[in-house]
Amino acid sequence: MKNNIPICLILLILLVSACKKKSNDTIHPTDKEFVSFQFKAGLNPDLTNTVEGQIIDSLIVLEISQTINNEALIASFEFKGKAVFIGTAEQKSGVTINDFSQPIDYIIHAKDNSTKKYTVIVKRSDDLKTVLPHIFIEVEDGAEIVEKDTYLHATITIDGKGSYEDYTGLTQIKGRGNTSWYLPKKPYRLKLHVKAPLLGLPAYKDWVLLAEYLDGSMLYNSVPFKAARQLGIPYTNHIIPVELTINNVYKGVYAFTEHKEVGVGRIDIGKNGLLLELDNNYDEDWKFQSNYFGLPVMIQYPKSKDMNNERLAAIRADFETFESLVFDDSFPDNNYLDYIDDQAFVDYLIVYELTLNQEINHPKSTYINKLAGGKYRMGIIWDFDWAYGFKPETGHYYEQTATWPLFVDISYPGTLFFKRLMEAPHMQQLFKERWNWFITYKYRELKEYVRVYAYTIQPALANDHDLWGPRGSTGNTEQDLQKVLNWLEARKNFIDSNINNF
């Protein structure tokens, strides 16, 4: 009996065999990479939609909403290599449950036993998006923005790139800032015609576009604002990187953030609260030079229209009562803690120590808030242009500056006042406790956030540098990022080694 196998079936078998052999041939002994990484809805009961991970070099970022439990998620993935591990535990796609409340390192082992590490970060929906929205401003009659005292009428259009809500509306725009206004790349202030929740933030009229001119890596605001949120410092601004075009002229990468104003969803100190700014520019309507340390104290809230000489005198008297306790020979063995929130002060100092923000010494852009009947609290944090050991001749992140003490020049009013506060044993002990907590539980997350921020702005940096020059950037995102992370690590080590020797 003849074995009559159809010739078409034989050809099909040969074709499948060849394809299978070709597929196997594409997996080389040295291959070790993720092809895809996701949380599937069917495997994770809290998810209504599958969440795709964005793979950026050795970083994988996924975004989930605030309502999702991130402590027990099952990842599904495709990879090239022999096996995938977390530590010594082998990972099975669609099976293994992990806690993603902190970044996790996945290790892919190749057939030749070489390995590659991927860091997986699961971000909440209110954290940094891995896209760069674009803001378009059209000023009436195409007018140039040449001053910071007069608003110009304009329209604003925001392309949210699918991750933020698009927006179009009427606005006004003017310049802003002190020193930063006189740099080539200008910062701007926006005032919408009607309140709107731009880029997912609570609805307000007033917004700010920070130019971040002084360093071309444009990472120096990502560190303090994230750290402040991790520490729970009230009213911390959000920093959202955007691209900006004005009158059809591309202006580069900017940091979009809230204007510094009192209100629900911003600096929520209530109608009878107090917001002070210590700044030697000393350019507000209502202000005083404090009696004991010579601090330049300006009243940001109550608003100027609600102030009078009697109210100014009451604010000054209360502040100087607190200041006198810090100045007095009996300090710290007096009741100064009746006037200042110790943890708020220490958390603020941790951010400024970690970033070596020298603005506090002059002082400049140093804010203190107070609820009615409450204690003085440091915050909001603001203005990190002169942090990270910045000098015009060396820029930011110069290696040797990581070991500079924050308080150096004893002649500055800010130095005299805040250094004396930190001489109190109670403040020193609390600083140690909060610092150790931060380093143990939050520091790694901070570094991963900065890494995501760097890769988020990467596609637009070349265009920004074409306009404004590299400004200390190498032009390579990974090298710029490593310079920042190396400086942070050196700074952390310096604080660790000196924490017992205030």
Confidence of residue 468 (pLDDT cuts 50, 70, 90): very high
- The answer to whether 39 and 62 have CB atoms below 8 angstroms apart is yes
CA atoms of 122 and 371, how far apart (whole Å): 35
Work out the mean pLDDT of the chain and round it to a whole number.
Answer: 92
- pTM greater than the 0.75 cutoff: yes
Contact 396, 387 (CB under 8 A): yes
- Sheet harboring 274-278: ordered strands across? 287-289, 296-301, 274-278, 366-370, 376-378
Q: Give pLDDT, residue 20.
A: 44
CATH fold of 33-124 reads Immunoglobulin-like (2.60.40)
pLDDT in tens, 267-296: 999 999 999 999 999 999 999 999 999 999
State mean pLDDT over 243-259: 98
Q: For residue 184, say if its preceding peptide bond is cis, omega within 30 degrees of 0.
A: no
Please give the share of the chain, as a percent, with pLDDT higher than 90.
83
Rg value, the chain, Cα: 27
- Read off the tokens for 461: 């940096």
Q: What is the mean pLDDT of residues 126-137?
A: 85
Question: Average pLDDT, stretch 235-247?
Answer: 97
What does the pLDDT look like over 135-171, one tens digit per residue?
A: 999 999 999 999 999 999 999 999 999 889 999 999 9
Supply the pLDDT for residue 22: 42
pLDDT score of 1 more than 90: no
Cβ–Cβ < 8 Å for 274, 315: yes
CA dihedral 334, 339, 344, 347 (to 10 degrees): -30
Quick check: 19 pLDDT over 50? Answer: no
Length of the chain as a residue count: 502
Answer yes or no: are the C-beta atoms of 135 and 242 closer than 8 Å: yes
Tokens representing residue 13 in the block: 């078998």
Range 188-208 average pLDDT: 97
Domain coordinates of the chain in residue numbers?
33-124, 134-258, 274-498
User: What does the pLDDT read at residue 2?
Assistant: 47
